Amino acid sequence: MRRLIFQEYVTLDGYAAGPDGGLEFFDKIAGQADDDNLALLESVDTMLLGAETYRLFVTFWPTEASADEVIAPKLNALHLVVVSTTLESAPWGPYEPGLVVRDIDAVRALKAEQDGKDIILWGSISLFHSLLQAGLVDEVQLRICPVLLGAGKSAFPSGNSPVDLELIEARPWAEGGVLVRYRPAN
């Protein structure tokens, strides 16, 4: 079975975006995070996105604007799967278009495929919450940025059953950020 890895940049107080949706807080640690992502992408062949994150990503990653981004070639070469009940298609610039699936049962089937590497879920907070509650997330990677926002969009579900996690790794970065990796406890 393929593993599904959720990765998110978060502030120290757990926000994945500022009150206005801004993401500027993670610029400070982007360089070292890119180095880690290059290594991670060696074990990944599929990128899973929700519709909102897809709409954000498609305006940057498969365009000339991402040419200076070190992870762009590997990211753009991934097989793209978008979970959406509203999108009919998922074009990806000059690259192979993504596959649109309608529900988490399709994600369950994707994970069950014998051929393939790991699956990365970037952003897509609502989708992450659903997949976590369904027991489909194998690893939670947080790239903690050294900033407190006080308000914004939380990266974590609220109002659902608690999910116990086991620490896999915690590694500080020179820029003051921290990479933490967890797996759901069995």
Rounded to two decimals, the pTM is 0.93
Query: Hey, what domains does the chain have and what are their CATH numbers?
Result: 4-184 (3.40.430.10)
Q: Are 61 and 55 in contact (CB under 8 A)?
A: no
Pairing state between β 15-17 and 153-154 = antiparallel
pLDDT digits (tens, 9 = 90+) for 75-125: 999 999 999 999 999 999 999 999 999 999 999 999 998 889 999 999 888
Question: According to the model, what pLDDT value does residue 27 have?
Answer: 76
Question: According to the model, what pLDDT value does residue 184 have?
Answer: 92
pLDDT digits (tens, 9 = 90+) for 13-42: 999 988 988 888 777 776 677 788 898 999
**CA 111, CA 98: separation in Å to the nearest integer?**
17
